[in-house]
């Protein structure tokens, strides 16, 4: 009955699971931003998205500060166009495309607002001007800079 005790077999090293957002795997698709971008890409179609953000969108009216109806929409910038996608009432997920304009046909003016935000005025010959109010996050600043860089900066 005196049997030698078997030596423990060394466990094979378990592969390390990459951390969320690891450089090898890229941004994970199970985050809220990843799911929103996937949904936006499905709505936009085959145009690749350069930047996207959320902003308060309103039409220009007299007494804009008091009377303008504002909606928090998704703003999508592609190589050729600017698109606005509405959100669901309860879910706040991207729902449907409500505005699309070629970057060659719109003029964008940029003004800073108090508390570090930005206000973009979009003017085209085909409709009323739109106001887009963005916050001060780095993603929103990058979206505003990319939109101003890709569109016509001043109206002739």
CA dist 53 and 134 (Å) reads: 9
CATH number of the structural domain 48-150 = 2.30.29.30
pLDDT tens digits along 58-75: 887 666 555 566 778 899
pLDDT tens digits along 94-143: 888 998 999 999 999 888 777 778 889 999 888 788 889 898 888 899 99
List the domain boundaries for the chain.
48-150
Q: What is the pTM of this model?
A: 0.72
Q: Residue 70: what pLDDT?
A: 75
Q: In the chain, where does DSSP find H-type helix?
A: 32-44, 64-67, 138-150
53 conformational bin, left if phi > 0, alpha if psi -120 to 50, beta if neither: beta
């Amino acid at each position: 009955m005196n049997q030698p005790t078997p030596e423990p077999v060394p466990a094979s090293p378990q592969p390390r699971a990459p951390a969320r957002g690891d450089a090898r795997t890229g941004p994970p698709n199970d985050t809220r931003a990843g799911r929103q971008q996937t949904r936006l890409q499905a709505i936009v179609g085959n145009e690749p998205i350069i930047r996207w953000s959320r902003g308060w969108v309103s039409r220009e009216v007299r007494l804009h500060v008091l009377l303008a109806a504002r909606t928090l929409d998704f703003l999508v910038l592609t190589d050729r166009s600017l698109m606005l996608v509405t959100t669901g009432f309860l879910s706040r997920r991207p729902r449907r495309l409500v505005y699309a304009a070629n970057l060659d046909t719109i003029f964008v003016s940029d003004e800073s607002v108090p508390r570090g935000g930005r206000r973009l005025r979009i003017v085209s010959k085909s409709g009323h001007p739109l106001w887009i109010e963005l916050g001060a996050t780095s993603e929103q600043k990058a979206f505003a800079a990319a939109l101003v860089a890709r569109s016509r900066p001043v109206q002739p």
